[in-house]
Chain A
Amino acid sequence: MPDLEKAVAGGNGSAAESGRYIRRFTSAQRWMHGVLFSSFLGLAATGLPMRFSQSFWARKFAAGVGGFGAIIFFHKLCALVLTVAFLIHLKNIFQRGIVNREKGIFWGPNSMVANWKDVKDLIGHLRWFVGLGKRPTFGRYAYWEKFDYWAVFWGMIIIGFSGYAMWFAPFFARFLPGWALNAVLVVHSEEGLLAILFIFSIHFVNTHLRPDTFPMDMVIFTGVESEEEFKHKRPEEFDALVKAGKLESRLGPAPATWWINFARVIGFTAILIGLTLLVLTLSAYFT
């Protein structure tokens, strides 16, 4: 598999053999991911000390940043940033799907919505893991990427709603029963914990740390990946583009070295913070 080897070489943003780069994410989408992970890290870093307020590191951390007052301030600030980002995303979907009637947003090979192929891909992928079949080929969004998306999507709705219900409890109590005020904390902290554990273990490994992309998939920072890498990772999207003669329109500029280095620093910092929080969470959970 010589082409695979080349693709692996390009896996962490190194130069393309063909010299051609295919655009995968628009700059707005990359910004969205940046805002998403920064505010998420902020929410996790300030949420965990509250969730595990009895652990030794929670108190140390709280004392270090100025106590609970500072923690809740940053938690709410990050929550507002993430809420705005989410609303912008909803507006974009509405704009593209409903107003502009753009095809393929809600259904089809380039949609985030799960379809029958995703089920077959999941089963095929699992069979490949244990050596029972060939590796399935993936389109623009693989099933685990769709799961990431929807987990975050519903997570934001659930965590966001329960968070605002606590923030403005007397207001929410006007139309929520009293026990719901108890429930929102349970829901908020459990769903938040799930999000934290999922992102910092599963998402990190699936998307960045597994051998194909190790140590980091740079496409979310640069927006482009080399033609070889693109072809290897998303053969179905590649074939469809070639067939429709649209590959040329998707070509993008080679990423600047300084930008790759800058993105690496940011990305590794995020991963490091995430892994630290993961270790602290697990230590608090099992002690």
Chain B
Amino acid sequence: MKNVSLIIAVIALGAFAAGTAHIGAQSSSECLTCHGDASMQDSSGHSIAVDGDKFHGSIHGPLECTNCHADIKGYPHPDKIAAVQCETCHADEAKGLVGSVHADGKEHPCTSCHGNAHEIQPKTDPRSAVYPLNVPKTCGNCHGTEGMAKKHGLASVYPLYMDSIHGFALSKEGLLVAANCNSCHGSHHILSRKDPESPTYRSNVPATCGKCHAGIETDYMTGIHGKAVAAGNKNAPVCSDCHTAHAIEQPTADAFRMQSTPICGNCHKEKFSTYRDTFHSQLGSLGGYVETARCWDCHGAHGILPASDPRSPVAPANLVATCGRCHAGANASFVQYQPHANAHNRKLNPALYYIGLFMNLLLVSVLTFFLIHTILWLIRQRLEQVKRKSTEGGNNA
């Protein structure tokens, strides 16, 4: 059924194209008599040449020149020619641009993204500048330059994206489903991430990522962070806080595991500091052995639940299984180990506190005693040496 309707559509489109092409070709060939000359320039030296073959092959090929250049009725042309108004036909897109970051038509004409209007291709055509696989490069024309940072305070995100997992999926694997700029930011109605309407506004980020990562979004929304975001907590982490927005890495990759714990530490300062005191962190910080437990290895990543929730991997009943993922043979006594023990807190960890205190006192007292002992010894021996030398010198003289 689908195939049949497709064939009908193709035939209908072909008949339409053949019919109008005839009229259009006749009309535009008249213009191309002059404008087909590649060297043609206006009085101020701008090229006003049109490549006829490319124009006829473009999505606008069936149109007559005067459809867009409406103020030109014949030859000679009027002295001042009005700018082409794309919104005459593309009204929805023009409406989308209103209020967007690209609203200024002088700064951002349609052609800055879609390319030469005489050679435009539909976005499903691989030659199109807005074909999914070409979008990052097109946006990168501006958003990959240092000029953006100076003019608009925006980072050069293109290289970050291209090295990200999305960029790799797009450029290396050639996946049309890989997230490109439009997937998150939209196309015409692009809003600042500070705008509550924007898909990149903090509290909208989970839904935006969830368009593709639906399972993760569901998982995230059941967790403590997702619930906090849903409740309007502006500080609760959304996808981009941990994964970044553009430089997204494969979370299982060494590089991400190495740099990741401080992300949680941004908010969970005390937990991060006590984690830093443990063997897990000491091992994990040095690289080359990335298996050591990071926050989410124990707590989970998206659907993080408090230890009081029986579904949580750090719920007391689940600890043997959770620790046992790395520590084969972990038993009930083993999981009494406190991965966030604080040796400075006498109330919470009395045994550890007193052991630490004892060890510190031992260290300080032994070193202090022997330091004084050694310094006094050095002084005395030096004095004896000097005394000896002076007597010897006297004897020799």
Contacts and interface: CB of A to CB of B under 8 A. Distances in A.
A131 B349 CA distance: 48
A42 to B, nearest CB: 16
B84 interface: no
Name the residue in B289, B378, B388 with the highest tally of chain A Cβ atoms < 10 Å from its Cβ.
Answer: B289
Contacts of B283: 50, 53, 68, 72
Interface stretch (A189-197, A227-235, A244-252): A189-197
Q: Report the contact-size class of chain B (Cβ under 8 Å from the partner).
A: 35 or more
A62 B287 contact: yes
Given A54-B276, A62-B287, A201-B371, A179 B282 contact: no
B341 interface: yes
Interface stretch (A98-106, A169-177, A268-276): A169-177
Interface in B29-81: none
A1 interface: yes
A266 to B, nearest CB: 24
Interface in B339-357: 341, 343, 349, 351-352, 355-356
Residue among B286, B360, B366, B381 having the largest count of chain A Cβ atoms under 10 Å = B286
B396 to A, nearest CB: 12
A17 interface: no
Task: Please indicate which of the listed interface residues B279, B329, B356, B363 has the most CB atoms of chain A within 10 Å of its own CB.
Answer: B279
Given A187-B355, A190-B360, A173 B377 contact: no
B341 A198 contact: no
B286 A126 contact: no
Among A5, A71, A211, max chain B CB count under 10 A is at A211
B336 A179 contact: yes
B281 interface: yes
A125 B382 CA distance: 15
B11 interface: no
Per DSSP, chain A at the interface is helix
Contacts of A35: none
Contact of B385 (A130, A186, A206, A211): A211
B359 interface: yes
B335 interface: yes
Interface residues of A, number: 57
A67 B254 CA distance: 12
Interface in A58-79: 58-59, 62-63, 66-72
A163 B288 CA distance: 21
A133 B338 CA distance: 54
Contacts of A212: 381
A178 B338 contact: yes
A262 B50 CA distance: 85
A261 interface: no
B334 A169 contact: yes
A148 B288 CA distance: 36
B328 A170 contact: yes
A210 B378 contact: yes
A173 B334 contact: yes
A205 interface: yes
Task: Name the residue in B330, B355, B362 with the highest tally of chain A Cβ atoms < 10 Å from its Cβ.
Answer: B355
B330 A170 contact: yes
B376 interface: yes
A205 B378 contact: yes
Contacts, number: 155
B388 A59 contact: no
Contacts of B373: 126, 129, 144
B279 A166 contact: yes
A194 B366 CA distance: 8
B367 A129 contact: no
Nearest to B379: A129
B116 interface: no
Nearest to A71: B286
B349 A202 contact: no
A88 interface: no
A185 interface: yes
Contact of A202 (B336, B374, B382): B374
Interface string A158-169: 000000001001
A182 interface: yes
Interface in B275-312: 276, 278-279, 281-289, 292
A129 B380 contact: yes
A169 B121 CA distance: 65
B29 to A, nearest CB: 68
A49 interface: yes
Nearest to A173: B334
14 contacts: A50-B283, A71-B286, A71-B288, A170-B334, A173-B331, A173-B337, A174-B333, A179-B349, A179-B351, A182-B352, A187-B355, A194-B366, A206-B377, A210-B381
Interface of B: 276, 278-279, 281-289, 292, 327-331, 333-338, 341, 343, 349, 351-352, 355-356, 359-360, 362-363, 366-367, 370-371, 373-374, 376-382, 385, 388, 392
3 A-B pairs with the lowest CB-CB distances in the bound complex, closest first: A67-B288, A178-B336, A173-B334
Given A202-B371, A210-B374, 20 more contacts: A1-B388, A49-B286, A50-B286, A67-B287, A68-B286, A125-B377, A128-B380, A129-B373, A170-B327, A174-B331, A178-B334, A181-B334, A186-B355, A187-B355, A190-B362, A198-B367, A201-B371, A202-B374, A210-B377, A211-B378
